[in-house]
């Protein structure tokens, strides 16, 4: 196994976000490309905001996407435990080292005092940096104070006048001035570490070689580098990946699209679609190719091809891609995937006692497969196969046909169908198999009967009567599945509407 070890470190304070999933995916692809290890670590030291239900949502979402961690709280591994809340002893040890060596100190400022200071600095148009007076308090005096005061935090004694530089794998050299960092906090108390500190300890102890994370963390990196230096740790390589933006180029939020992976799952996007789509949010292969299998992505992924500028989340592209993946499914697979969406939709719940055969469902799904974009659409789109459609009579009108013309048109369809039906009854009696009339036969007969002229005058009212929808597959395909009897019943209902 290669020495490449990367990680995703989500906080379980909300459902799995598409941005986190994208970061996880880039880490995963990078690790798999080099035969390395992908670690999932849970940053749950913020006990108030962390919730087990979100942790589960993160685990489930990543698994559903096919981004399997090699080491995680669930799978375990050689570098555990993988939840920060289970690593408190380790943090305490390193905090103690920093305190003992005079690289960190106790700060006794109240939140009010800090807020006031910040306000003053901002009013004076100065950066809100806290250079703490307690940094020079005698350590023994400070220790005694901690015994009487309960409200204190631990800060890092940021060295002044230092230039902190690192070579980002995506953005080249990044440099920061230590003056702008202030004495940043590293722990609320000895047993409540804060992000910048805990992440550094975890990355060291878990032998993380590359930190691949969102660009929003770039300003944390100099703090982490100072801590790494102070603790004598190894420095990982950094790659800050671009933010995901909405089509208006502002940071992706609920205002644009759904943001949690589970919402996409519920909308009927396939995991392979999302996997492929997320991979292209900030990365491209250097060609026009957009559809990639997981194996292809693992083979082709490289940090060099990750872009610096923001990645636009284009829902139309996602829809297109999902349609492509739906069409790649075998029919039995698609039937299974669609069933929850058929059953889950109140409108299409099969009437009790009315057994809808698997074969019937299969035919319906086959009809929709070429045009479906999301599995969730299937409920509404196929509703008319399960219950008589509801619609306004005007839907039956083709161009400016009069009511009498519509009635005549529907009569003609009934005529054609009843002729076909009596022929079919004879045929079925002879062969002793009950077969629906095929769409080919239906089409041939109708076209012959209609002859020259505007086909819409017959086919539109017919199709509208069958489906009650503005758009649907053609009437012949529908009648083949529905059967002539039901079709005729619906046309008669349509005629009643006109009366
Ligand atoms: N908990 C942080 C986040 O989810 C981790 C950041 C990091 O990777 O260092 O954004």
427 CA from centroid of ligand 1 (Å): 70
Place of tokens 């009315």: 354
For atom 1 of ligand 1, the residue with the nearest CA is: 10
Q: How far apart are CA 466 and CA 385, in angstroms?
A: 9
Ligand 1 pocket mutation pick from 82, 203, 217 by most atoms within 8 angstroms of CB: 217
Best mutation site among 5, 10, 84, 240 for ligand 1 pocket (most ligand atoms within 8 Å of CB): 10
The closest-lying atom of ligand 1 relative to the alpha carbon of residue 8 is 8
Say yes or no: do domains 330-387 and 393-498 share a fold.
no
Helix H, strand E, coil C: the string for 384-449 is HHCCCCCCCHHHHCCCCCCHHHHHHHHHHHHHHHHHHHHHHHHHHHHHCCCCCCCHHHHHHHHHHH
Two tokens at 440?
């080919």
Cα(first)–Cα(last) distance of the chain, in Å? 77
If you measure from the C-alpha of residue 372 to the centroid of ligand 1, how many angstroms do you get, rounded to a whole number? 37
Q: Could you say which of 118, 251, 254, 455 is catalytic?
A: 254
* Among candidate residues 320, 331, 325, the one with its CA nearest the CA of residue 365: 331
Q: Which residues line ligand 1 (CB under 6 A)?
A: 9-11, 43, 199, 213, 217
Give pLDDT tens digits along the chain (499 positions): 679 999 999 999 999 999 999 999 999 999 999 999 999 999 999 889 999 999 999 999 999 999 999 999 999 999 999 999 999 999 999 999 999 999 999 999 999 999 999 999 999 999 999 999 999 999 999 999 999 888 899 999 999 999 999 999 999 899 999 999 999 999 998 789 999 999 999 999 999 999 999 999 999 999 999 999 999 999 999 999 999 999 999 998 888 888 999 999 999 999 999 999 999 999 999 999 999 999 999 999 999 999 999 999 999 999 999 999 999 999 999 999 998 888 544 444 454 445 567 888 899 999 999 999 999 999 889 989 988 999 999 999 999 999 999 999 999 999 999 999 888 777 777 776 677 899 999 999 999 999 998 999 999 999 999 999 999 999 999 999 999 999 999 999 999 999 8
Which atom of ligand 1 is found nearest the CA of 203? Answer: 9
- Closest ligand 1 atom, residue 11 Cα: 1
How far apart CA 348 and CA 343 sit, in angstroms, is 7
Domain 330-387 has CATH 3.40.50.300: no
Distance (angstroms) between ligand 1 centre and the Cα of 214 equals 8
Determine the atom of ligand 1 nearest the C-alpha atom of 199.
Answer: 9
Query: Domain spanning 393-498 has what CATH number?
Result: 1.10.10.350
Catalytic status, residue 317:
no
CA 340 to centroid of ligand 1, rounded, Å: 35
Q: Where are the domains of the chain?
A: 330-387, 393-498
Hey, which of 41, 195, 215, 227 would you mutate to test ligand 1's pocket, going by the most ligand atoms within 8 Å of its Cβ?
195
Helix, strand, or coil (residue 221) = helix
**How many angstroms does the Cα of residue 304 sit away from the middle of ligand 1?**
22
Global pTM exceeds 0.85: yes
Distance between Cα 223 and ligand 1 center (Å): 14
């Amino acid at each position: 196994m290669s020495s490449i070890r990367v990680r995703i470190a989500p906080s379980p304070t909300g459902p799995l976000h598409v941005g986190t999933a994208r970061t996880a995916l880039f880490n995963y692809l990078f690790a798999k490309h080099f035969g390395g290890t992908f670690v999932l670590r849970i940053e749950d030291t913020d006990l108030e905001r962390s919730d087990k239900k979100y942790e589960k949502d993160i685990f489930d979402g990543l698994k559903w996407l096919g981004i399997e961690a090699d080491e995680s709280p669930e799978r375990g591994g050689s570098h555990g435990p993988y939840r920060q809340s289970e690593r408190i002893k380790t943090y305490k040890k390193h905090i103690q080292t920093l305190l003992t060596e005079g690289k960190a100190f106790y700060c006794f400022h109240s939140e009010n005092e800090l807020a006031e200071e910040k306000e003053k600095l901002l009013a004076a148009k100065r950066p809100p940096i806290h250079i703490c007076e307690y940094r020079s308090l005698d350590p023994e005096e400070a220790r005694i104070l901690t015994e009487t005061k309960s409200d204190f935090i631990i800060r890092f004694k940021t060295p002044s006048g230092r230039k902190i530089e690192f070579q980002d794998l995506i953005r080249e050299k990044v440099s920061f001035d230590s003056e702008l960092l202030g004495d940043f906090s590293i722990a609320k108390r000895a047993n409540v570490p804060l992000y910048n500190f805990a992440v550094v300890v975890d990355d060291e102890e878990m032998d993380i070689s590359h930190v691949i994370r969102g660009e929003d963390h770039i300003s944390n990196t100099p703090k982490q580098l100072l801590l790494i230096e102070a603790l004598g740790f190894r420095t990982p390589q950094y790659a800050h990946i671009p933010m995901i933006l909405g089509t208006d180029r502002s940071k992706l939020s609920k205002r644009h699209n759904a943001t949690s992976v589970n919402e996409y799952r519920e909308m009927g996007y396939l995991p392979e679609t999302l996997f492929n789509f997320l991979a292209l949010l900030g990365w491209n292969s250097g060609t026009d190719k957009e559809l990639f299998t997981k194996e292809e992505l693992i083979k082709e992924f490289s940090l060099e091809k990750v872009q610096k500028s923001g990645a636009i989340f284009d829902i139309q592209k996602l829809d297109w891609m999902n349609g492509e993946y739906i069409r790649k499914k075998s029919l039995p697979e698609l039937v299974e995937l669609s069933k929850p969406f058929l059953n889950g939709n109140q409108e299409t719940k099969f009437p009790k006692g009315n057994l809808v055969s698997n074969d019937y469902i299969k035919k319906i799904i086959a009809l929709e497969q070429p045009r479906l974009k999301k599995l969730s659409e299937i409920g509404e789109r196929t509703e008319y196969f399960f219950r008589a459609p509801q619609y306004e009579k005007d839907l039956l009108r083709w161009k400016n046909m009069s009511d009498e013309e519509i009635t005549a048109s529907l009569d003609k369809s009934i005529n054609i169908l009843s002729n076909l039906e009596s022929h079919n009854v004879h045929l079925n009696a002879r062969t002793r198999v009950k077969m629906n009339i095929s769409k080919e036969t239906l089409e041939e007969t109708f076209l012959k009967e209609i002859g020259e002229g505007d086909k819409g005058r017959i086919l539109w009212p017919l199709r509208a009567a069958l489906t009650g929808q503005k758009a649907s597959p053609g009437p012949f395909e529908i009648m083949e599945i529905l059967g002539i009897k039901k079709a005729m019943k619906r046309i008669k209902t349509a005629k009643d509407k006109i009366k």
